[in-house]
A = this chain, B = another copy of it.
Amino acid sequence: MGLVNTAFPPDALLKLRYGNLGICHTRYSTTGISELQNCQPFVVDTLHGKIAVAHNGELVNAHALRKKVMRHGVGLSTCSDSELITQLLALNPPLEEQDAPDWVARIKNLMTETPTSYSLLVMFKDVIYAVRDPYGNRPLCIGRLVPISKLHSTGAEEEDTEGWVVSSESCSFQSIGAKYYREVLPGEIVQISKHGVKSLSVVPRPEGDLPAFCIFEYVYFARPDSIFEGQMVYTVRQRCGRQLAIEAPTDADVVSTVPESATPAALGYAQQSGLPYIEVLCKNRYVGRTFIQPNTRLRQLGVAKKFGALTDNFAGKRVVLIDDSIVRGNTISPIIKLLKEAGATEVHIRVASPPLRFPCYMGINIPTKEELIANKPEFQNIAGYIGAASVQYLTVEGLVSAVQQGIASHQDDERIGSSSKSSKPVGHCTACLTGKYPVELEW
């Protein structure tokens, strides 16, 4: 429990015995219960050795699958999908004591039983399978570990490590000295072993269904230097800012950002609109990210502590403030108040994504429908409610276009030999914005 560097102190890591395969998982609880027992990877012992599973996502038909597993007489010790997946892999078909099981066939089998959402790492004694659901709802990508070049000024010895790594976000590769290689495709099973990386199979979606990668990864979750579908997240956000400037121009003096996540969109808005880009807020380094704080009141108090107003930059001016998203509406309101008290004559809010209206059942911890500002009566007069001179959101069409125009132009660069590039379909999950879920939800 806790942040990685406190949960795994150096002496805990030193106790790990030498091995050449490993999986791990950092859990950002999506069910409100952050309990030790739900930690991943989940490991079970079977007649044919151990299975370890790390899972990003949320199985849309988890409830039905739990029933199914329990009907086989298995008691489930956690409420995690990871345990469910381990038991499904062991149960179906029954394991024979004599014959080694065909784990890949079992994984394929599992993929036909649950359409989405999951990016999985399934580890056995000497092989890891990296698996992405047929809709590609959650990200998964592969990196190549290269030897770290020698550090010049110290005598530290280093091992020349080579190998392969898999991660939800490509941004993690750089900090361990790995290079982005490619994405795991929707429905693909990739084998990683001492023989290297090998694509084994691509389980198809139902006829006519489009891929459904979560569009909110582009908008909010991913780190800007991550790469999805061949494009850098930062670039998509900048395009969203440009599109927003087209859709929602403002009569103002300066453009600025709610640091740091809205900065690419703000720069895009400034470039498109021709208004000068300035900074209006500086972050207090010693306070954490808003999204992680636990309750409404703390979040509100937190904002006052989080930002300093760079008064002289905007006193007496009309400010267009770009935010990446307005979820509950609690954060933006004290910021506007802060800017006005510090001398801004008008504060116009432009949001580089459409309003969130619907819950996510596929692994993203969106507040309940009732908590979303877009579903509250106050949304009718959102500008008045939060104290802004005006508020405008990017349209769903605008967002989708900003996301997808980069994919077409980049597809030629992808290094996946086996996929026919020209016919590659494009689609995204916009369920939280539109209520259109990629698959029918079973409960």
Chain A interface residues toward B at CB < 8 A: 3, 5, 36, 42-47, 51, 66-67, 70-77, 79, 83, 86-87, 89-92, 94-95, 97, 151-154, 156, 171, 174-175, 177, 223-225, 231-232, 234-235, 260, 263-264, 267, 277-279, 282-286, 289, 296-297, 300-301, 304-305, 308-313, 330, 333, 338
Pick the most buried of A77, A87, A301: most chain B CB atoms within 10 A of its CB: A77
* Cβ-defined partner of A330 (8 Å) among B153, B171, B330: B153
Chain B residues closer than 8 Å to A235, beta-carbon distance: 312-313
Nearest-neighbour CB distance to chain B for A121, whole angstroms, equals 16
Q: A51-B75, A264-B279 known; 5 other A-B pairs, CB under 8 Å?
A: A45-B66, A74-B87, A174-B309, A175-B284, A260-B282
Chain B residues closer than 8 Å to A177, beta-carbon distance: 304
Copies of this chain assembled into the complex: 4
Cβ-closest 3 pairs across A and B:
A44-B75, A225-B308, A73-B91
B296 touches A153 (CB 8 A): yes
Give the secondary structure class of A's interface. mixed
Nearest-CB residue, chain B, relative to A309: B225
22 contacts between A and B (CB under 8 A): A45-B70, A45-B75, A45-B76, A45-B79, A47-B67, A47-B70, A72-B72, A73-B90, A74-B87, A74-B90, A77-B83, A152-B333, A153-B330, A174-B304, A177-B304, A223-B308, A225-B310, A231-B312, A232-B310, A235-B313, A260-B260, A267-B278
A154 touches B45 (CB 8 A): no
* Cβ-defined partner of A289 (8 Å) among B5, B43, B285, B313: B285
A267 touches B296 (CB 8 A): no
Chain B residues closer than 8 Å to A44, beta-carbon distance: 75-77
Known: A75-B86, A278-B267, A282-B225. A297 touches B91 (CB 8 A): no
* Cβ-defined partner of A234 (8 Å) among B5, B94, B277, B282: B282
Nearest-neighbour CB distance to chain B for A109, whole angstroms, equals 13
Chain B residues closer than 8 Å to A282, beta-carbon distance: 223-225, 234, 260
Chain B residues closer than 8 Å to A154, beta-carbon distance: 296-297, 300
